A and B are shown apart, each in its own frame.
Chain A
Amino acid sequence: MAKKLVILGGGTGGLIVANLLTDYYETVVVDRRKETVFQPGQLFVAFKGESPNKYKKEIKEVLNPKAKFIQSEVTKINLDNREVLLVDGSKISYDYLVVSLGVEFNYEMIKGLKENFEKFGDYYSGLESSSKFYENFKTLRKGQLVITVADPVYKCVPAPHKGAALAADTLRKIGSQAKVVLTVPFPKVYPAEKLADEYEKALRKHGVEIKTMFTLDRIDHKEKKIYSLEGEELSFDLLAVIPPHKGPSVEVEPSSVRDSDSYFKVDKYKLNIIGYDDAFAIGDNASLPTAKSGVGAHLQAEVVADNLLGYEAKFNGRTFCPCISNDTASFVISDYDHPPVRVRCSRFKRLIEEVFIAGYWSFLKYPRIWRPLMETMFEATKPSVLGEIGW
């Protein structure tokens, strides 16, 4: 009889594991929402006013029909009893568990952030929040849009830069006099040596003002100013905050498998939750020494699926994060053994990203079919092969 695989979370990681393993395991996917979201689309909704409908689909539409989908919140995970408790009190037992619940946001960590979120929205908290942000953004005729990274650990490291570039372009297009200021808590605008100068140049070309080593401490809505831990202040007319992140708020027993930010402690290669060989955590809710990214979730899903099919597979920390503007793109390419390599911004890469965006739902639904092609692409662009010349 097939073993039972329970997957918590119907995002990129969860759905790819499900679609790779449904033919071999009795598969159940649990998510509290009916829909799954292509999160990079939030940028386009927030800064270009695109329709959110392009970037979400019902989980049932992309999940292998042989897998079971339960729309419910998960309240507790008991790793020793191998069972998961749902909000209605029902229990699901498992032979194997994959936890891919993503991140949650800690608005309370920064004074004034909850108020800012309720007032303006942001482009991290979902499609609705991004739409709300756009409604505020499109009316900005003068003054400053400040995009600020509250905490240095957040998903999609280039997202603030992408937001700034797209925002500047849109403001120019609609004839607004408003300026865009991007603040980051890093010493250089991007926290990778070989990319920082390229990205700084690109952002300046868009007219974006950059403030480095600015770690958000608090927001004063009366004064319309933000203050940093480093002792600086900055005025804003509209504020987009990349909020502090934390792991999912589900109760886990034993609680020792989670770190102080509620991320799951996993083996960085095998992705199993430390101390368990039948439970895995992938995607943003795993604590890994590499960037939190969609590509990461995808590759990690493949590693877990391979291991559950009896193949020896290891995750190598690979990243391929797109850093885009309207016309050009670059990719942040790194892995556990190599810091990001030099990758210039170009139109060709923007084309590649466009193809990727168009193909996303297909990659989710048919991961096995796309895998050889994607592997070839990743092999051809791996950091050890690109080397000093880069791309």
Chain B
Amino acid sequence: MSEKHLVDARGMSCPGPITKLVKTYRIAKNGDIIEVLATDPGFIPDVKAWIEKTGNELLELKEEAGVIRAVIKVTAKK
């Protein structure tokens, strides 16, 4: 059963929202969806680097009204 995890990291800047993503990734399983909301602009390059390193799928990366929304499908867990 795949789960959807909502990570609300709005207003977080140090440590950045990437920390909440990594924490959620630990408990996530392949097939799960992780949605992250952030306001720290540093999150955009961070999440891109994270996707490249881990090999998970970035379904969506949008910015609207100052809020960045990243939707990730977990596919790379061993």
Residues on A facing B (Cβ under 8 Å): 151-153, 157, 185-188, 191-193, 212-213, 215, 229-231, 268, 289-291, 317, 319, 332, 334, 336, 338-340
Is B53 a contact partner of A332 (Cβ separation < 8 A)? no
Is B22 a contact partner of A289 (Cβ separation < 8 A)? no
- Given A157-B15, A230-B53, the answer on whether A339 and B42 have CB atoms closer than 8 Å is yes
Q: Which of B10, B13, B40, B46 contacts A186 (CB 8 A)?
A: B46
Bound CA span A151–B15, Å:
12
- Given A186-B46, A187-B46, A191-B19, the answer on whether A157 and B26 have CB atoms closer than 8 Å is no
Residue among B11, B22, B78 with most chain A CB within 10 A: B22
23 sample A-B contacts, Cβ–Cβ < 8 Å, listed by A number = A151-B23, A152-B15, A152-B19, A152-B22, A153-B15, A153-B19, A153-B23, A187-B45, A187-B49, A188-B49, A191-B14, A191-B16, A192-B13, A192-B14, A213-B49, A230-B53, A231-B78, A317-B11, A319-B14, A334-B14, A339-B14, A339-B42, A340-B13
Within 8 A of A (CB), among B3-27: 9-16, 18-20, 22-23, 25-26
Please, which residue of chain A has its CB at the minimum distance from the CB of B12? A289
Closest 4 CB pairs of A and B: A152-B19, A339-B13, A187-B49, A193-B42
Q: Which of B12, B26, B45, B77 contacts A290 (CB 8 A)?
A: B12
| Cβ contacts under 8 Å, A289 to chain B | 9-12
9 additional contacts (CB under 8 A) given A157-B15, A229-B25: A185-B19, A191-B19, A191-B46, A192-B15, A193-B16, A289-B9, A289-B10, A290-B14, A317-B11
| Cβ contacts under 8 Å, A336 to chain B | 11, 13
Bound CA span A193–B22, Å:
17
For the complex formed, measure the closest distance between the CB of B12 and the CB atoms of chain A, giving whole angstroms. Answer: 4
| Cβ contacts under 8 Å, A188 to chain B | 46, 49
Is B18 a contact partner of A186 (Cβ separation < 8 A)? yes
| Cβ contacts under 8 Å, A230 to chain B | 53-54
| Cβ contacts under 8 Å, A215 to chain B | 22, 25-26
| Cβ contacts under 8 Å, B9 to chain A | 289
Question: 1/0 per position for B18-52, CB-CB distance to A under 8 A?
Answer: 11101101100000000000001110011001100
| Cβ contacts under 8 Å, A340 to chain B | 13-14
Is A334 a contact partner of B13 (Cβ separation < 8 A)? yes
| Cβ contacts under 8 Å, B78 to chain A | 231
Bound CA span A231–B75, Å:
13
| Cβ contacts under 8 Å, B25 to chain A | 215, 229
Is B18 a contact partner of A157 (Cβ separation < 8 A)? no
Bound CA span A185–B45, Å:
15
Residue among B15, B22, B26, B46 with most chain A CB within 10 A: B15
For the complex formed, measure the closest distance between the CB of A202 and the CB atoms of chain B, giving whole angstroms. Answer: 18
Please, which residue of chain B has its CB at the minimum distance from the CB of A232? B53
- Given A213-B53, A213-B54, the answer on whether A186 and B11 have CB atoms closer than 8 Å is no
For the complex formed, measure the closest distance between the CB of B40 and the CB atoms of chain A, giving whole angstroms. Answer: 5
Is B23 a contact partner of A191 (Cβ separation < 8 A)? no
For the complex formed, measure the closest distance between the CB of A382 and the CB atoms of chain B, giving whole angstroms. Answer: 14
Is B14 a contact partner of A332 (Cβ separation < 8 A)? yes
| Cβ contacts under 8 Å, B22 to chain A | 151-152, 185-186, 215
| Cβ contacts under 8 Å, A153 to chain B | 15, 19-20, 23
For the complex formed, measure the closest distance between the CB of B62 and the CB atoms of chain A, giving whole angstroms. Answer: 20
Q: Which of A151, A192, A212, A213 contacts B16 (CB 8 A)?
A: A192
| Cβ contacts under 8 Å, A317 to chain B | 11
Residue among B14, B25, B76, B78 with most chain A CB within 10 A: B14
Bound CA span A229–B42, Å:
23
Please, which residue of chain B has its CB at the minimum distance from the CB of A186? B18
Bound CA span A213–B50, Å:
7
| Cβ contacts under 8 Å, A231 to chain B | 76, 78
Is B50 a contact partner of A157 (Cβ separation < 8 A)? no
Q: Which of B13, B14, B18 contacts A187 (CB 8 A)?
A: B18
For the complex formed, measure the closest distance between the CB of B58 and the CB atoms of chain A, giving whole angstroms. Answer: 14
For the complex formed, measure the closest distance between the CB of A58 and the CB atoms of chain B, giving whole angstroms. Answer: 34
Please, which residue of chain B has its CB at the minimum distance from the CB of A192? B14
For the complex formed, measure the closest distance between the CB of A114 and the CB atoms of chain B, giving whole angstroms. Answer: 18
Q: Which of B11, B18, B49 contacts A152 (CB 8 A)?
A: B18
